[in-house]
A and B are shown apart, each in its own frame.
Chain A
Amino acid sequence: MNNTWGDMAQYDPVTWNWVIAVYLFMAGLSAGSILIGIGLRWYSKEKAIESAILKAAAIISPLAITLGLACLVFDLTKPFEFWLILVNYNFSSVMSIGVLALLLYSPIGIAYSLIVLRDELTKRKLDFLVPVAEALMPMRKAIEVVLFVLAIGVGAYTGFLISAMNAYPLLNTAVLPALFLVSGLSAGAAANAIGALLMFNTHSHDTNLSKMHGLELPVMLSEIMFLFMLFCALYFKGGAAAAALASLTTGVWASVFWVGVVGIGFAIPLLTMLMPSQTRHSKGVMIAVACCSLTGVLALRHFVIYAGQSYIS
């Protein structure tokens, strides 16, 4: 029916759409991937050789953040004026703080990738980059530490970005940054596994790969715990917040949550852990499970963005 007061299109509660969900996924993936790569390097005894996991992370992390930022820029209504955001800062805005973090994170991430991939550069006819990698080599430790800290910042920032909007009870929760950080870690681990197995032909029984595999269960369990905490917080807050729990039972985003996040993201990887070790560690199964984890994390970002904006207090 027509109404006398005019078009309602601009009042659609969902302002940020799938492009932003993809950006949040990419930023989490980038941060998680490099956090796992660097973390495993610090815990491994063999530091002279670059592990396949770290090499995969060095490719995935800068690539993911670049694609994510491209999504972000082209989602602006004035994409060619994006530079305004780089020269004007408002420190009460989480986005401004994030821009600053990304401004440091992206180039440092690329610099670190050059260091890690210095041997690969010659193999792939990118010799002109070798002197740059050599020049950066002495600063490796410092770059590594700074990048690690910035990656934690970038991973959590995507959560802070949307939790800052207090009109949406599902988004305005303290656990969201933590949830995004751990789910970023699980996406990062999955992507690193795929990269290591496909690009660097790692053996599926590789020590680093098994170490990373060992991380998957605790990471997934903390993800489940944070999700549980998120919904508990809504339930106990009552009112509009409790009404937002309907996101779990009604509408298409409830299906995305139960099928995508819980079914594909959690259940399939957890169930494969029950498989005999031989099958479980075959290349095919490992890649399939990693793809499931990635799908789950992507579904989680979509669920949070869409369901989050659908319930307003």
Chain B
Amino acid sequence: MSKRYVMVHDENRCIGCQACSVACRSENGVPEGVTRLQVRVEGPFGDAPHLHFKYNRVSCQQCENAPCVTVCPTGAAYVGDDGLVSIKEDKCVGCMYCVAACPYKVRFINPETKAADKCNFCKDTRLARGELPACVTVCPTDALTFGDANDPSSEVAKLINTKATYQEKTHLGTKPRVYRIPTKRGGIQS
């Protein structure tokens, strides 16, 4: 695995416009009622007039140590050569062990294929053509950055190395590959 695809979500730049979510739906043909990607607007936090919101990206974290892959009985959930956690639809029986085991709750059963589904960084479509994932391309504020963190000259590597970032639920040992740049607004927290 020479590549290490990561995504950085700058929560300062994000405005919660949902363009990414719409682009994802159209690019990946995600059926009604289910989503691969949500940006939840949480808050407001702080005291008026200094209010701010938190924009929480909810999508597959592409864990390096993915619980969904460990628990999958048939090997339908697997880590590809590119390091991305993917699903072999025809091998999935729909036991929902992966849906239950995912600490980020981002897996769902696709109502059309009846197989488990989730974000795969547009691996089969845009990434295969050498393009960026749909959500990254469409973001009007450039809140999303995507690339190979193993390449020191890449934009993501520079971002991770220079900005303060955090990942969700690192205490579970999953090593998520979605990095977040926290909102800096608001008061000093004790």
Query: Which A residues form the contact surface with B (CB < 8 A)?
Result: 3-7, 9-11, 13, 15-16, 75-78, 81-82, 84-85, 88-90, 92-96, 99, 164-167, 309, 312-313
Contact = CB atoms under 8 A, between A and B. Distances in A.
Given A4-B16, A4-B18, A165-B100, A93 B172 contact: no
Nearest to B97: A95
Interface in B86-140: 91-97, 99-103, 105, 108-109, 114-115
Contacts of B171: 313
Interface residues of B, number: 40
Contacts of B103: 166-167, 312-313
Interface stretch (B1-9, B67-75, B150-158): B67-75
B38 interface: yes
Contacts of B71: 92-95, 164-165
Contact of B100 (A3, A16, A89, A94): A16
B122 to A, nearest CB: 19
30 contacts: A4-B18, A4-B41, A5-B18, A5-B21, A5-B39, A6-B21, A9-B33, A10-B33, A10-B108, A13-B105, A75-B96, A76-B93, A77-B109, A78-B114, A82-B93, A84-B93, A85-B73, A85-B74, A88-B74, A90-B73, A93-B70, A94-B71, A95-B95, A96-B74, A164-B71, A165-B67, A166-B172, A167-B102, A309-B100, A313-B171
B38 A5 contact: yes
B34 interface: yes
Q: Give the interface centre of B58, B93, B103, B115 by most chain A CB atoms within 10 Å.
A: B93
B96 A15 contact: yes
B62 interface: no
A77 B75 contact: no
Interface string B18-52: 10010000000000011100111100000000000
Given A5-B39, A5-B41, A166-B67, A78 B92 contact: yes
Which 7 residue pairs are nearest across A and B when measured between Cβ atoms? Answer: A77-B94, A167-B103, A88-B74, A15-B100, A95-B73, A10-B108, A77-B114
A254 B96 CA distance: 25
A11 B91 CA distance: 23
Contacts of B93: 76-78, 81-82, 84-85
A194 B91 CA distance: 42
Contacts of B105: 11, 13, 312
B21 to A, nearest CB: 6
Nearest to A5: B38
